[in-house]
Amino acid sequence: MNERQIGIGHFPVSAEKLGELLKRVSAGQLDNTRARDVFAHLLENDASVENAIKALGIESVDSGELDALCRELLDANPQTVEDFRAGKKQAIGSLIGQAKKKNPNANPQQVRETLIRLIESS
């Protein structure tokens, strides 16, 4: 509102839309980065949250697809896996970045959890 120098009565995103967006973030359906994209779209377009998500090409990633992506990254980065097992927990961050490049719809927290699960089970 400060940026646009408008009052709350003229704010283009209704409380209902903002609430729906926040619910999706809380439920893990959208990560913070993708939620910011949706919010920016809502600021510029009179659209529902669902339509904004569709317009931006945001799709949910099923667990099978996420597993396959994480296995591919682990296979391609054995040194990162070794570093993680040696106690360098931050090493996994580079894999999360690679996952987001390969599939921008991948939720970073879910990628992290899947990578750790796969490393610990192997």
Each residue's pLDDT tens digit, 108-120: 999 999 999 999 9
Q: Is the pTM of this model over 0.85?
A: no
Confidence (pLDDT) at 8? 79
92: tokens are: 């996994």
Confidence (pLDDT) at 87? 94
Confidence (pLDDT) at 64? 93
User: Domain-by-domain residue ranges, the chain?
Assistant: 8-55, 63-121
CATH topology of domain 63-121: Arc Repressor Mutant, subunit A (1.10.10)
Confidence (pLDDT) at 92? 94
Q: Write phi, then psi, for 61 (nearest 5 degrees).
A: -110, 120
**């987001």: which residue's tokens?**
100
| Rounded average pLDDT per 10-residue block, the chain, 122 residues | 76 91 91 92 93 92 93 96 94 94 91 95 87
d(CA 18, CA 1): 14
Confidence (pLDDT) at 50? 95
Confidence (pLDDT) at 103? 93
Confidence (pLDDT) at 5? 75
Confidence (pLDDT) at 84? 95
47: tokens are: 């659209």
- Whole-number Cα distances in Å, 42 to 22, 39, 56, 81: 13, 5, 11, 40
